[in-house]
Structure 1
Amino acid sequence: MSTTVERRVRTVRESLASTLGEAMAADESMVLLGETVRAGGAQGVARGLYERFGPSRVIETPVSENGIFGAALGLALSGFRPVVEIYSADFLLAVANEIVNDIAKWRIQHGQPGAQLPVLIRGCMGATAGLGPEHSQSMEPFFFHSPGLQICVPSTLENAPALLDAALESRQPTLFLEHRKVYELQGSGTPEPRPAAEPGTAEVVRVGTDLTMVAWGWMRTEAEAACATLAEHGVTVELVDPRWIRPFDYATVVNSVAKTGRLLVLEEAFITGGIGAEILARVTEAFPGRALVATRVAMPDVIHPYHAEMERQILPTAADAVHAALRLVRNQDES
Structure 2
Amino acid sequence: MKVIEITKPGGPDVLAVGERPVPKPMDHEVLIKVKAAGVNRPDCAQRQGTYPPPPGASDLLGLEVSGEIVEVGAKVKRWHAGDPVCALVNGGGYAEFVTAPEGQCLPIPYDLDFAHAAALPETFFTVWTNVFESGQLKKGESILVHGGSGGIGTTAIQLAHQFGATVYTTVGKESAVNPCLELGADKVIQYKNDDFVLAVKEFTGGKGVDVILDMVGGEYFERNLESLAPLGRLVQIATIQGATVSFDLRKMMAKRLVITGSTLRPRSTEQKARIARSLEEHVWPLLNKGRLKPVIYKEFKLEQAREAHELMESSAHTGKIVLNVR
TM-score (norm 2): 0.30
Higher relative strand content: 2
- Greater length-normalized contact order (CA 8 Å, ≥ 6 residues apart): 2
Higher relative helix content: 1
TM-score (norm 1): 0.29
